[in-house]
Chains A and B, each alone.
Chain A
Amino acid sequence: MTFPIVEKETLNEGTVLLRVKAPRIAAHAQAGQFVVLRIREKGERIPLTLADWDEETITLVFQPVGKTTQDLAKMLPGGSIRDVLGPLGNPAEISKVGTVVLVGGGLGIAPLFPQARAFKEAGNRVVCVIGVRTKGLLFWEDRFKGYAELVVCTEDGSHGMKGLVTDGLKRVMRERKVDRVVAIGPPVMMKFVSLATREAMIPTVVSINSIMVDGIGMCGGCRVPLTTKEIRFSCADGPEFDGHIVDWDALLVRNRMYEDEEKACRCT
């Protein structure tokens, strides 16, 4: 059984959306979960977050950054992915807490969508702080309507407010009482979001993109360095963690572990 691609959309120059037929995964998907996929026999297993789903299909949004994601970006409807395993990871903890601010940088916008929907449906006020370099990179603005109030931050000021997501987040924090923050995006961004909320003691959830192999808790490659020194696996215990106890500097180092090999792979 393979997983046919039913739709492809280029969201912007560096971001691709694929809708893939995977009824079993779709039937069990919840916000915050991801899949591990392998395109072909000789391919690598890589994790991608579930950006949306309906009865039959799941939606993946990704940036072609290396071998596998570049190959994936070349695939077309009619083609199919050899292996897709999921939904993996623990669902996001969704409850009624009051005002929830979801922070996403770049690609993080897509994985925030199911969370915005779920938090809204649970009766929260939801604000999404979305950061991109420039206006042209923004997508899905309309999809969030009805679920969340959007605060767009662009680095060049071409849309919304000028600045980084942390600036946007700080502004929201000044203007109202924030009960929870959820950040999804590059580790550096999540690190600074966690620093910003730490003093204000706002519970902050981050989604950790460790390097993964199996995605089912069997290799330990995805272990997340925590300041508490406990050993936790992103795939089985996460992917969401308390942003205030993640050892960000150690995490940044771990994610560069296979840098040399990744380069070798891209050249071939």
Chain B
Amino acid sequence: MHVTRTQDPKERISNFSEVDLGYADTDAIAEAKRCLQCTNPTCVPGCPVGIDIPGFIRRIAAGDPDGALAVLKETNYLPGTCGRVCPQEDQCEKACILQAKKDPINIGKLEKYAADMGKHSFVKKPPIGRKVAVVGSGPAGLTCASFLAMHGVAVTVLEALHEPGGVLRYGIPEFRMPNAIVEREVEQLTRLGVVFEMNVLVGRTVTLDELRAEYDAVFIGSGAGLPYFLNVPGEEKTGVLTANEFLTRINLMHGYRFPEYDTPIKRAEHAVVIGGGNVAMDAARAARRLGSQVTVAYRRTEAEMPARIEEIRHAKEEGIGFELLAAPIEIIGDTKVSGISCQRMALGDPDASGRRRPVPVEGETFTLPCDQVVIAIGQGCNPVLLKGCDAELGKGGTVAVDRTFMTSIPGVYAGGDAVSGSSTVIMAMHDGREAAKAILARLKNHHSRIANYK
């Protein structure tokens, strides 16, 4: 496999710039040429949105990044994002035929290359005289908005925060997902005529009923941003915060550039990050860049960590320590945190998810001294909109939808983390697109009915 260039670990821990520097043209072409162009490509079914993978790779091999990007955008409106954050090792690359030789095509990085190097603009169909409100500007909302706008629908995206992008903006740090990329993907929507209204919390600034009265359909892509806590003693101490708060202060508010920006962020001597997913890796690596010594504490082993392999590798290169088989039991300190006590765990039998369940090792506890604890153990659905509306809820406070992604309220659709609980960017995009198709079908149906009456 031809690998991409990255920033040197010693250098990158003192900046927030993107770690992966991408392919030079020659390397991208060389990697693309390794693709066997299978007649029955096994990679494609591995992709949740079914990108024509050999198709876009063929364009890269031919030195045509514009063509490659056009192929990508047939199925994926945010390739610059997916190329960076999708868990390719569990999806397309895992399914690639060359995986048999342990050397799959580097599909993710090629996707990123095409997205960054290629030029493309969407072709827009004539207006159909219908309008749709999209709640939330994360990957689900942006994808839904793109599809509808391309098909001539007037789309307004309503976002509670002051910048669009959802997790791509407030969660995933600059060193992995530069804001400039998010801006570019958003800009392409503006060019399609999508209107963005920031600072609108649906359920408070406008109600869902008001939206239903004003628009022909509504899509809810409000995500899953409600952070979970450990529920151990000492969690209220200063120095204990959620990864969401930590990352929001850094990404959305630019706290790492305090005092140039007004929002402060604590630079700890030693930070302990609890969790083993992408969120934990992002928090740990962000803390490292603020100058902290960082330890990630996770209750299972590395093999069970849900984070992307690349993130774990990058974290290790950056000198982040891993305390595995460690479950927090108490945060200690008087008013400020001074350490975290953990229970030593061992792997027991597999649980419902198929992963081996961690079980406590009797009598083995230990303390990690630290002055900051960042909790990254998952999140639930944003409650504000969902609590106040009549849509039926599913398990864990998610929105219940049918096969067409419609909620129990006619004309109101939902997708992404708001429906799945907590998932991935690509699954959110998948939902956004499928919901958009259903919305379009509904609008056209109603449209023809109205036309017939005339």
Contacts and interface: CB of A to CB of B under 8 A. Distances in A.
B382 A216 contact: yes
Contacts of A265: 258-259, 262, 264
Contact of B238 (A68, A82, A231, A256): A256
Given A86-B205, A213-B249, A216-B201, A223 B236 contact: yes
Nearest to A87: B204
A32 to B, nearest CB: 13
**Chain A CB within 10 Å — which of B199, B207, B239, B260 has the most?**
B199
B225 A83 contact: no
Contact of B264 (A85, A88, A214, A261): A261
A218 B226 contact: yes
Contact of B244 (A28, A220, A225, A236): A220
Interface in A223-252: 223, 225, 231, 236, 247, 250
A92 B262 CA distance: 31
A31 to B, nearest CB: 14
Contacts of A88: 201, 204
Given A38-B162, A236-B383, A262-B264, A254 B245 contact: no
Interface string B383-408: 11000000000000000000000000
Dominant SS at the B interface?
loop
A83 B238 contact: no
Contact of B205 (A67, A85, A236): A85
Contacts of B245: 213, 219-221
Given A218-B225, A250-B236, A264-B259, A84 B264 contact: no
A216 B254 contact: no
Contact of B382 (A86, A213, A218, A254): A218
B335 A253 contact: yes
A200 interface: no
A268 B225 contact: no
B296 to A, nearest CB: 19
Dominant SS at the A interface?
mixed
B265 to A, nearest CB: 8
Interface residues of B, number: 45
Given A253-B238, A256-B238, A86 B244 contact: no
A174 interface: no
Given A214-B161, A253-B335, A45 B205 contact: no
Contact of B227 (A87, A219, A261, A268): A219
A227 to B, nearest CB: 11
Interface in A80-106: 82-88
Contacts of B262: 42-44, 67-68, 265
Contacts of A268: 259
A87 B205 contact: yes
A170 interface: no
Contacts of A262: 264
Interface in B227-251: 227, 229, 231, 235-239, 241-242, 244-245, 248-249
A208 interface: no
Interface in B305-324: none
A2 to B, nearest CB: 10
**Chain A CB within 10 Å — which of B204, B207, B226, B249 has the most?**
B204
A247 B201 contact: no
Contact of B160 (A85, A221, A225): A85
A196 to B, nearest CB: 25
A45 B241 contact: no
Contacts of B207: 28
B453 interface: no
A4 interface: no
Contacts of B248: 213-214, 218-219
**Chain B CB within 10 Å — which of A214, A247, A253 has the most?**
A214
Interface in A190-204: none
A219 B167 CA distance: 12
Contacts of A214: 160-161, 170, 248, 252
Contacts of B266: 257-258, 261
Given A217-B384, A218-B226, A219-B244, A83 B160 contact: no
B384 A216 contact: yes
B238 A220 contact: no
B185 interface: no
A216 B160 contact: yes
Contact of B225 (A28, A42, A217, A261): A217
Given A43-B261, A67-B262, A219-B227, 5 more contacts: A24-B200, A42-B254, A85-B205, A216-B384, A221-B242
12 contacts: A42-B254, A44-B262, A213-B263, A217-B226, A217-B383, A219-B227, A221-B242, A221-B245, A223-B229, A236-B384, A264-B259, A268-B259
